[in-house]
Structure 1
Amino acid sequence: MESLYLLIPLSALLVLGIIAVFGWALHRGQFEDIDAEAERILTDEAPALDSRQGQKPTPGEES
C-alpha cells in the first residue's frame, strides 16, 4: 500500500510528460505531412558506388 503513494504520483507525472512531448511534436508540425517522407525514401537516389566495390578480387590482387 505504501508503494502506491509513490507509484501513483510517478505515473501521473509520466502521463503528463508524455502529453507534453506529444503537444510539443504537434506544435512543431511533426505530423503535418507524413506521406511526403514515405515518398522521399522511395524516390531518393542511391549513392554512387565505387567501381571496385562489390567485385570479387582477382587471385593476383588479394591483399
Structure 2
Amino acid sequence: MSFLAVTIPVSLLLGATLLALVVWRARAGDYDDWEGPAERMLHDDDSTPEREA
C-alpha cells in the first residue's frame, strides 16, 4: 500500500510537469507552423558543392 502512496503523487507530478511544458511551448509558438518543415524538405535545393574524394 505504501508503494501506491509514493507512485500516485509522483505520476501526478510528472503528468502536471509535462502538461505545463506543452502549454508553455504552445504559447511560445513552437506549434504554429506545421507545414513549413515538410515543405522545406520537399523543395530543398542542394546549393552545397559536393566534395571530391
Q: Is TM (by shorter chain) over 0.5?
A: yes
4+ runs of 1 displaced by more than 4 Å?
none
Higher Cα Rg: structure 1 or 2? Answer: 1
Structure 2 gap ranges (5+): none
Relative to the length of structure 2, the TM-score reads 0.84
Map of 1:30 onto structure 2: 30
Overall identity of the aligned pairs, in %: 31
**Relative contact order higher in (CA < 8 Å, ≥ 6 apart):** 2
Structure 1 gap ranges (5+): 54-63
RMSD: 1.1
Aligned residues: 52
